[in-house]
Amino acid sequence: MSEIIGESVEHRGGAIRNAGYVISRYARILTSDIVRFVYSPECIVCEERLEQDKVYFCQRCRDNAQDISFPLCIRCRNQITVPRMGCACNDGAAVSVLWTCGMFDGFYRAVIHAIKYHGLLPLSKTAAEILASRIRETQRLPAVDLLVPIPLHWSRHLQRGFNQSELIAEHLGALLDTEVSNKVLRRVKRTKDQTRLSAKEREANMRGAFAPTGRRELADRRILLVDDVTTTGSTLNEAAAALRQAGCRNVFAAVVAVASIN
Ligand SMILES: [Zn+2]
Ligand SMILES: [Zn+2]
């Protein structure tokens, strides 16, 4: 049902979404900075007072982050040594290799929550910088020619005012000198919040959530999907399947953090 409603008002939603996006994006940047100016800034992780403005976390919390310095399999989470080959556990999957900053805990959870729920948008650049250095350190990302952020459904985009994955992808694209497009993939289904869903339920929830929009632009492309966090990989898989249907040659993924699968 929500899928049908989402489709039918997609066009009208576009204009409202763009206007809402611009206004609330800048309103959020402004308010978050005003709040930080009036109240002295605190570390987003330990809440200790920070000496400098424009700094969002303390060095101790940054040093305690649970970093992951190698590409890993989306499904079994084992280290991948030859990304082009994928992982044997996930043979034939639409996407199987993932680059990430670290575990969705402590530092990286605080960074993602600060962007998503508190509008501290400059942190999307910090996240992209760490992700870019992680990709460069491992030197094992096969050639990609397009970065695609995981899109939000237009109604959720309107509600939040921005898409954090899009912001991260924009910065990452600049750092890796690679084209970014938020036009080739569309979220056509307003999916349920996945927090309390099992792996099977997440898979069903995401089924049919994405549709490719630029078949000509996607043919034979090598894509790096970008998202803030992944748990079971169901969102990345579904998005990658839609891109592959449109003729993409390879799909890899990069996320700021991976959450443990319970
Ligand atoms: Zn701290
Ligand atoms: Zn695996």
Q: Which residues partner with 146 through β-bridges?
A: 223
Q: How far is the CA of 233 from the centre of ligand 2 (A)?
A: 12
For 30, other C-beta atoms within 10 Å of its C-beta total 11
3-state secondary structure of 82: coil
Q: How far is the CA of 60 from the centre of ligand 1 (A)?
A: 6
Give the pLDDT confidence score for residue 178 in this predicted structure.
Answer: 96
Number of independent structural domains in the chain = 1
Both tokens assigned to 201:
């339920």
Across the chain, mean pLDDT equals: 86
CA–CA dist 128, 251 (Å, integer)? 19
**Residue 175 above 70 pLDDT?**
yes
Percentage of the chain surpassing pLDDT 90? 63
Query: Looking at this protein, which amino acid is placed at residue 16?
Result: I
Q: How far is the CA of 235 from the centre of ligand 1 (A)?
A: 31
CA–CA dist 58, 44 (Å, integer)? 8
Q: Cα torsion at 134, 108, 178, 247 (round to 10°)? A: 100
**Residue 21 above 70 pLDDT?**
no
pLDDT average, residue stretch 107-115: 97
The more confident residue out of 192 and 240 is 240
Q: Which listed ligand is nearest to 63 at the C-alpha?
A: 1
Backbone angles phi and psi of 114, in degrees to 5: -65, -40
Which has the closest alpha carbon to 208: 238, 246, 182, 233? Answer: 238
pLDDT tier, 3 (very low <50, low <70, confident <90, very high otherwise): very low
Least confident stretch, 23-37, 166-180, 239-253: 23-37
Query: Looking at this protein, which amino acid is placed at residue 150?
Result: I
**Residue 13 above 80 pLDDT?**
no
Q: Which listed ligand is nearest to 74 at the C-alpha?
A: 2
Residues in the chain: 262
Give the pLDDT confidence score for residue 66 in this predicted structure.
Answer: 94
Find the domain containing 219 and state its range: 2-258
**Residue 229 above 80 pLDDT?**
yes
Q: How far is the CA of 33 from the centre of ligand 2 (A)?
A: 42
Where residue 154 sits, what CATH number does that domain have?
A: 3.40.50.2020
Query: Looking at this protein, which amino acid is placed at residue 142?
Result: P
pLDDT tier, 195 (very low <50, low <70, confident <90, very high otherwise): confident
